Amino acid sequence: MTEAIHITVDADGVAMLTIDVRGQSMNVATPAFYTEFHAALDRIVSDETIKGAVIHSGKASGFMGGADLKSMATMLGERDEGKSRSASIYSRAKTLSALYRRVETIGKPVAIAVDGVAMGGGFELVMSCHYRVASDSPKTKFGLPEVMVGLLPGAGGCQRLPRLMGIQAALPYLLQGKTMSAAEAKQFGVIHEVAPAADIIDTARHWVLANPGVKQNPWDVKGFKLPGGAGMFNPGFVQTFMGANAMVQKESWRNYNAVKAILQAVYEGSQLPIDKALDVEVKYFTTLFTAPQAANMIRTLFINKQAADKGARRPASLPPMPTQKLAMVGAGLMGSGIAMVSAQAGIDVVLLDRDEESAAKGKAYTEERLAKRRTAPEKMAQVLGRITPTTDYAALAGSDLIIEAVFEDPALKREVTAKIEAVVGPDTMYGSNTSTLPITGLQANWSKPENFIGIHFFSPVEKMQLVEIIVGKNTGDAAIAKALDYVRQIGKTPIVVNDRRGFYTSRCFATYVQEGMTLLAEGVTPALIENSGRLAGMPVGPLAVGDEVAIDLMGRIGASMAAEVPGYQPTVADGVVAKMLENDRKGRKNSKGFYTYPAEKGSKKRLWEGLADLFPRSAAQPTTEEVQERLIKRQVVECVRCMEEGVLVTPADGDLGAIFGWGFAPFTGGPFSLVDTMGAAHFVDHLHRLADKHGERFAPPQLLIDMARTGRTFYADSVARAAA
User: Which amino acid makes up residue 447?
Assistant: S
For 470, other C-beta atoms within 10 Å of its C-beta total: 28
Question: For residue 3, which of 25, 19, 17 has the smallest C-alpha distance?
Answer: 19
Task: Give the pLDDT of residue 613.
Answer: 94
Averaged pLDDT score across all residues of the chain: 93
Is residue 325 within 8 A of residue 347, CB to CB? The reply is: yes
- CA–CA dist 403, 409 (Å, integer): 16
Task: Give the pLDDT of residue 562.
Answer: 84
Q: Is the pLDDT of residue 493 over 60?
A: yes
Any alpha helices (H) in 193-332, and if so which ranges? 200-210, 235-252, 257-269, 274-290, 292-297, 305-309
Question: For residue 29, which of 628, 105, 38 has the smallest C-alpha distance?
Answer: 38
Task: Give the pLDDT of residue 235.
Answer: 75
More confident residue, 249 or 128: 128
Query: Which residues does residue 470 pair with via DSSP β-bridges, in sequence order?
Result: 454, 497
Is residue 352 within 8 A of residue 328, CB to CB? The reply is: yes
Domains and CATH numbers, the chain: 5-290 (3.90.226.10), 328-503 (3.40.50.720), 519-621 (1.10.1040.50)
Q: Is the pLDDT of residue 79 over 70?
A: no
pLDDT band at 549 (very low <50, low <70, confident <90, very high): confident
Task: Give the pLDDT of residue 409.
Answer: 86
More confident residue, 221 or 244: 221
Residue 327, φ and ψ in degrees, nearest 5: -95, 105
Task: Give the pLDDT of residue 723.
Answer: 54
Residue 193, φ and ψ in degrees, nearest 5: -145, 145
Task: Give the pLDDT of residue 85.
Answer: 80
More confident residue, 722 or 519: 519
Length of the chain equals 724
Task: Give the pLDDT of residue 196.
Answer: 97
Write out the H or E segment, with its range, that includes residue 71.
helix 69-77
Q: What percent of the chain stands above pLDDT 70?
A: 96
pLDDT digits (tens, 9 = 90+) for 674-723: 999 999 999 999 999 999 999 999 999 999 999 999 999 999 877 666 65
- CA–CA dist 39, 428 (Å, integer): 57
Q: Is the pLDDT of residue 484 over 60?
A: yes
- CA–CA dist 283, 160 (Å, integer): 16
pLDDT digits (tens, 9 = 90+) for 274-306: 999 999 999 999 999 989 999 999 999 988 999
Question: For residue 405, which of 341, 450, 465 has the smallest C-alpha distance?
Answer: 341
Write out the H or E segment, with its range, that includes residue 429.
strand 429-432
Is residue 340 within 8 A of residue 369, CB to CB? The reply is: yes
pLDDT digits (tens, 9 = 90+) for 624-652: 999 999 999 999 999 999 999 999 999 99
Strands 179-181 and 14-19: unpaired
Q: Mean pLDDT throughout 586-595? A: 93
pLDDT digits (tens, 9 = 90+) for 600-610: 887 899 999 99
pLDDT digits (tens, 9 = 90+) for 88-114: 888 888 888 999 999 999 999 999 999
Is residue 454 within 8 A of residue 470, CB to CB? The reply is: yes
- CA–CA dist 582, 572 (Å, integer): 16
Residue 108, φ and ψ in degrees, nearest 5: -135, 155
Q: pTM of the predicted model, to two decimals?
A: 0.90
pLDDT band at 77 (very low <50, low <70, confident <90, very high): low
Please count the CA atoms within 13 angstroms of the CA of 574 that sit on its side-chain side: 11
- CA–CA dist 346, 326 (Å, integer): 11
Task: Give the pLDDT of residue 65.
Answer: 86
Is residue 93 within 8 A of residue 76, CB to CB? The reply is: yes
Which three-class secondary structure state does DSSP give residue 707? helix
- CA–CA dist 525, 18 (Å, integer): 61
Task: Give the pLDDT of residue 579.
Answer: 96
Task: Give the pLDDT of residue 502.
Answer: 84
Q: Is the pLDDT of residue 586 over 90?
A: yes
pLDDT digits (tens, 9 = 90+) for 349-391: 999 999 999 999 999 999 999 999 999 999 999 999 999 999 9
Provide CB contacts within 8 A for 666, sequence distance 6+: 297, 301, 537, 659
Which three-class secondary structure state does DSSP give residue 679? coil
CA–CA distances in Å: residue 379 to residues 339, 340, 341, 345:
16, 13, 14, 12
- CA–CA dist 543, 533 (Å, integer): 9
Sign, CA dihedral 398-399-404-405, equals negative
